[in-house]
Amino acid sequence: MYLPASIQVHAADAFEERYGERPFLIIRAPGRVNLIGEHTDYNDGFVLPMAIDRAVYMAIRPRTDGCVELYSLDYQELGRFELANIKHHDSGWLEYIKGTVWAMQTAGMRVCGLEGVLVGDVPLGAGLSSSAALEMATARAFTAVSNQPWNPAEMAKIGQKAENKWVGVNTGIMDQMISAAGKVDHALLIDCRSLETEAVPLPPGTTVVIMDTSTRRGLVDSAYNERREQCEAAAAFFNVSALRDLDEATFNAHAQELDDLTRRRAKHVVTENARVLKACAAMRAGDAVAFGQLMNASHASMQNDFEISNAALNTMAALARQQPGCYGARMTGGGFGGCAVALVDTDSVDDFVTAVTSAYTAATQLTPQIYVSPAQDGAAIVAE
Ligand code: GLA
């Protein structure tokens, strides 16, 4: 079994080795897996992610000289900057930290200096939001040392601004929201327009299994941005501010007037938003079967209409569905590589992991990574 506590101890010990005392605070901010609701966040729609047991940890103490000094145990690299003079440098891990602090400052927040170490175990580039975890760990750490209140939705917006304007990736709000506001044992229904959330329990006796295909999305920021533009074009055609405002009946009534590509893109978003709400109803009713069917339908929509899947993700989802005890499976995250997610009967999980691993390896000659994760809390101070 995976023991996330050991990485927290590692962060604390590394801090002590470097600074000669125990850390003032340890912060943890998780990665995430999205159960359903893909590419709906930037359409002002609904998503249903959960925070996972993989996270970024920061062991820190305050500084009074306006400087920030952080040592990355993963990259074995020291990063430094001055709060009064934050500048773009390159594309490394420190840019996420600088960008988050910059976004806090530009929002008018008081930000004090700090120093310490950071370490993470969210797999990189797998679609489990290691960058949002780093942004939210940063926001949590700086609000703590600066005696500022922790408002998850406000901080998620700060993280998104860092990602959009500093790092330069035009993502929605889902990843930062779930890393900031996740609830243990629950998925979080997020209304990406109002940023209201509702914690929804997983169906009893089920477990979420994350299956990394070991394929990576590569240079596809352009494909992500292209999907955004296609969605915006569809919203403009229907004269709504975002596709969130389009129901299935109105879409169906006018769908034939759209060109084929725009129609399929919009169809995914409109039906996916509806699926998220149906999935929540299924979860509240403890109906794992209905939830699983919605996951399968979501995958088909991403494969055929939104066209963000790849062969490995399709194979992984199909193999997962063939296993006993699997209620449903779909690709998760931005797409074009990374992870699929399945809802599995808890008693069948061990056999499921073994069978999917060998079937996937046989089918693709790739070695998958499988993570069985309970739902965890969002960004928090875990020790002081
Ligand atoms: C990435 C983005 C999110 C969201 C998903 C797709 O993870 O960071 O904002 O758009 O893709 O659902």
Whether 219 has a pLDDT exceeding 70, the answer reads: no
Among 152, 177, 162, 151, CA closest to 97: 162
- At 125 the pLDDT is 86
Q: 156 C-alpha vs ligand 1 centroid, how far in Å? A: 13
Is 90 exposed, middle or buried (CB count within 10 Å of its CB: 0-12, 13-18, 19+)? exposed
To the query of whether residue 175 is one of the catalytic residues in this protein, the response is yes
- Residue 251 CB less than 6 A away from ligand 1: no
Mutate which of 129, 175, 243, 308 for ligand 1 pocket (most atoms within 8 A of beta carbon)? 175
- Residue 46 CB less than 6 A away from ligand 1: no
Whether 168 has a pLDDT exceeding 90, the answer reads: no
Tell which atom from ligand 1 comes closest to the C-alpha of 41: 10
**Range among 89-98, 208-217, 218-227 rated most confident:** 208-217
pLDDT digits (tens, 9 = 90+) for 308-329: 999 999 999 999 999 999 999 9
139-161 mean pLDDT: 98
- At 160 the pLDDT is 98
- At 3 the pLDDT is 64
What's the one-letter identity of residue 124? L
pLDDT digits (tens, 9 = 90+) for 373-382: 999 999 999 9
- At 220 the pLDDT is 56
Buried b (16+ CB within 10 A) or exposed e, 373-383: bebbbbbbebb
State the chain's mean pLDDT as an integer: 96
- Residue 272 CB less than 6 A away from ligand 1: no
Among 47, 34, 43, 33, CA closest to 270: 43
Domains detected in the chain: 4-198+376-383 (3.30.230.10), 201-372 (3.30.70.890)
Residue 335 CA to its chain's centroid (Å): 12
Tell which atom from ligand 1 comes closest to the C-alpha of 39: 12
pLDDT band at 384 (very low <50, low <70, confident <90, very high): confident
Ordered DSSP codes for 202-261: PPTTEEEEEEE-S----S-HHHHHHHHHHHHHHHHHTT-SSGGG--HHHHHHHGGGS-HH
Whether 5 has a pLDDT exceeding 80, the answer reads: no
Which residues have C-beta within 8 Å of that of residue 260, sequence separation ≥ 6?
none
Q: Which of 41, 44, 121, 175 is catalytic?
A: 175
Q: How many CB atoms lie within 10 A of CB 307?
A: 16
Tokens of 73: 């145990």
- At 2 the pLDDT is 66
How far apart (Å, rounded) are the C-alpha atoms in residues 200 and 198?
6
Is 99 exposed, middle or buried (CB count within 10 Å of its CB: 0-12, 13-18, 19+)? buried
Whether 273 has a pLDDT exceeding 90, the answer reads: yes
Whether 6 has a pLDDT exceeding 70, the answer reads: yes
**pTM: predicted TM-score of the whole model, two decimal places:** 0.97
How far apart (Å, rounded) are the C-alpha atoms in residues 13 and 119?
12
